[in-house]
Amino acid sequence: MSNPNFDYYARAKQEHGHDHNHDHDDHAPVNEHDNGPPSDYEIMSRAMQELLEEKGLITAEQVRRRMELFDEEFPYRGSRVIARAWTDPAFKARLLADGRAACAEMDIVLESERLIAVENTPDVHNVIVCTLCSCYPRALLGMPPTWYKSRNYRSRVVFEPRTVLHEFGTVLPDHVTVRVHDSNADMRYVVIPMRPEGTEGWSEEQLAEILTRDALVGVTVPRIGR
């Protein structure tokens, strides 16, 4: 931030008397992500939160809880939903018809997200990308992985999807249609992979274990005992 009057982080640094380039005790040094001054966006975000708290619209606890959900619950929702789809054909049909409504049946509230589930078959393999930014079904899969947001993935998977999939270890025969979904506006997407042979009789919990994030984005397929 260019306005020095607004840089209370700098003020705190002055009060501390020095930069944080050393350890304060005998513990191993922490690899700090917040070395250096905060970015403009961090300061704007902080200022916005403080204003909203002052107005009584949100609490710091709500913000903390939201971050906790992103780490601890959201990343596992997608696996649960697709495991249900694998075991319950009627649920799968409802998921394909209206993703958000089907998730609501499992008490998974996608809030504003409109969800489209796309199904892999012996003839079709689906893969998801957002070429414009990094749109991702966050309420279902948590935060997007770094590679999903990378320019490399976003620019290449649309015009050479088979090569990119190969790099992820997914080799598809030519007779399989590769169906790329550019998540470029208001819809969010999740792939229903094919259920692998050898999982007959598995519980939803067991199935959810092999339904990894990357399989639900479509860059890989679920495998047993990898």
Partner 1 sequence: MAASAKPERQSFTSSYTPAPGHRYDVGDRVVVKRAFPPGHRRTPYYIRGKQGVIERICGAFPNPEELAYGFSGKPEKTLYRVRFPQQDVWPRYAGPAHDIIEMEIFEHWLEPASAESPPVKGQTP
- How far apart (Å, rounded) are the C-alpha atoms in residues 196 and 201? 12
Residue 103 is among the residues annotated as catalytic for this protein: no
Phi, psi angle pair for 155, to nearest 5°: -85, -30
Q: Which of 2, 79, 103, 134 is catalytic?
A: 134
Per CB under 8 A, contacts with partner 1 among 167-206 are: 174-175, 177-187
Binding characters for partner 1, 140-159, by CB under 8 A (x = yes): ------------------xx
Question: Looking at 114, 138, 149, 156, which residue binds partner 1 (CB under 8 A)?
Answer: 114
Task: Tell me how many degrees the CA angle 99-188-163 measures, rounded to the nearest 5.
Answer: 120
> Does residue 84 belong to the site contacting partner 1 (CB under 8 A)?
no
Specify the pairing of strand 114-119 against strand 177-182. unpaired
Residue 176 Cβ, how far from partner 1 at the closest point, in Å?
A: 9
H and E: helices and strands count for the chain: 12, 4
Residue 134 is among the residues annotated as catalytic for this protein: yes
Residue 39 is among the residues annotated as catalytic for this protein: no
DSSP state of 195: P
- How many chain residues interact with partner 1 (CB under 8 A)? 34
CB 85 within 8 A of CB 77: no
Phi, psi angle pair for 98, to nearest 5°: -160, 95
Residue 133 is among the residues annotated as catalytic for this protein: yes
Q: Which is nearer to partner 1, 12 or 185 (CB)?
A: 185
Binding characters for partner 1, 124-143, by CB under 8 A (x = yes): x------xx-----------
Which amino acid, residue 154?
R
Residue 105 Cβ, how far from partner 1 at the closest point, in Å?
A: 8
Owner of token pair 């997608």: 78
Residue 195 Cβ, how far from partner 1 at the closest point, in Å?
A: 18
Q: Which of 39, 133, 155, 203 is catalytic?
A: 133
Longest dimension (CA), the chain: 67
- How far apart (Å, rounded) are the C-alpha atoms in residues 68 and 62? 10
> Does residue 77 belong to the site contacting partner 1 (CB under 8 A)?
no
Residues designated catalytic: 130, 133-135
**Residues near partner 1 (CB under 8 A):** 94, 97-101, 104, 114-116, 121, 123-124, 131-132, 158-163, 174-175, 177-187
